[in-house]
Amino acid sequence: MQQFLDIARALADENRLRALLALKDRELCVCQIMAMLCLAPSTVSKHMTVLKQAGLVDSVKRGRWVYYRLPDRATNPDVARALEWVFGSLQEEARIKDDANRLCCILCMTPEELFKKLVMDEGQGPRTGVALAPGPGE
């Protein structure tokens, strides 16, 4: 029951759902999720902690970066069922697909290009240092 409640509560927030869906085909580090969600590092960190406590993601630390990814299936049937529910229901969501597109840009662009795009998209400078550092993907 507690396990189920942890999962349900973790899934009851739009930004956590977006983060979870973004992990479908790849692992991501916190700074990439920050760029995708446009949230402060502390906020993203807390969200990922909630997801991890619920068993919905795993994390690995490599160098300075912490990578989050979906857990191995078959670990926990409750988690597996929950993830099936989430992906089955939201994969085709417009917002999620848009995230996937933007994520593609975040992963491929150089920091300078990313900076310009953020400025153009939002009409203002990027948040607290988002994407200004040479990301882990290079």
Partner DNA sequence: GCTATAATTCGATGTGTGGCGAAATATAGG
Partner DNA sequence: CCTATATTTCGCCACACATCGAATTATAGC
Applying CB under 8 A, the residues found at the interface with a copy of itself are 1, 4-5, 8-9, 11-14, 17, 78, 81-82, 85, 88-90, 93, 95-96
Measured between alpha carbons, how far is 71 from 75 in angstroms, rounded to an integer?
Answer: 7
Tokens read off for 89:
């229901």
- Taking the complex as a whole, the smallest distance from the CB of residue 73 to DNA amounts, in Å, to 23
Q: Which does 134 bind (CB under 5 to 8 A by kind): a copy of itself, DNA, none?
A: DNA
Residue 77 binding DNA, by CB under 7 A: no
Beta strand 28-29 with 65-69 is: antiparallel
Q: Which segment (27-35, 70-78, 99-107, 114-122) binds DNA by CB under 7 A?
A: 27-35
Query: Smallest Cα–Cα separation from 10: which of 56, 72, 58, 63?
Result: 56
**Residues 6 or more apart in contact with residue 56 via CB below 8 angstroms:** 7, 10, 11, 20, 70, 71, 79, 82, 83
Residue 61's binding partner, choosing from DNA, a copy of itself, none, with beta-carbon cut-off 5 to 8 A by kind?
DNA
Residues in contact with DNA by CB under 7 A are 9, 12-13, 15-16, 29-31, 34, 39-50, 59, 61, 63-67, 127-129, 133-136
